[in-house]
Amino acid sequence: MKEPTLRRINAFCDGRGFSFFNIFGKVDDGQINIGNLHPGVVKAFHFHSLQEDNWFCLSGDIHVICVSPDNSVIRHFYIGEHNSSVLNIPIGWKHGYKNVGHNISTLLYWVTKEYNQAAPDESRVAWDFLGKELWDVENT
């Protein structure tokens, strides 16, 4: 079973600021979108049967949870301003995220299939189907 993976993205920095280049690599199909999420809000869960998702958090910090198709594997990822990485989410993995920062988070995401409004490749599951405590930050 293919699992979600993180790929670190390095910033190019100089006296003017910083930039990220070639975030998703070569993109031949699908579409690139942007979503914003208010602090403390959870947007979850859904999964796809035909497409993979690739997420890059442009601003803020988010907690992403990915759940395997059979619900036997749960993976937690933290991406954003403090961990500039692309998260690849394979077909069939349920996924969602929570804004864990104090400002609106902005998510840039590339999906490998173009959105079809007549037949969306998206199935939804309740945000708390595995328990709402899944979204809590664990202090160890």
pLDDT digits (tens, 9 = 90+) for 73-119: 999 999 999 999 999 999 999 999 999 999 999 999 999 999 999 99
Is position 59 within any domain? yes
Is the per-residue pLDDT at 140 higher than 80?
no
With CA atoms as reference, report the closest residue to 110 among 43, 17, 8, 27. Answer: 27
Proportion of the chain above pLDDT 90, given as a percent? 83
Predicted TM-score (pTM) of this structure? 0.92
Is position 19 within any domain? no
Is position 17 within any domain? no
Which strands form 53-59's sheet, in the order they lie side by side?
5-8, 85-89, 53-59, 105-111, 31-37
pLDDT band with cut points at 50, 70 and 90 for residue 56 = very high
Is position 57 within any domain? yes
Is position 95 within any domain? yes
pLDDT digits (tens, 9 = 90+) for 8-25: 998 888 888 889 888 998
* Segments forming the whole domain that contains residue 5: 1-9+28-108+121-126
The total number of structural domains in the chain stands at 1
Is position 80 within any domain? yes
Tell me the β-bridge partners of 110: 32, 54
Give the per-residue pLDDT at 18: 84
Is position 138 within any domain? no
Is position 55 within any domain? yes
Which strands form 42-47's sheet, in the order they lie side by side?
74-80, 61-67, 94-99, 42-47, 123-124
Give the per-residue pLDDT at 21: 85
| CATH number of residue 66's parent domain | 2.60.120.10
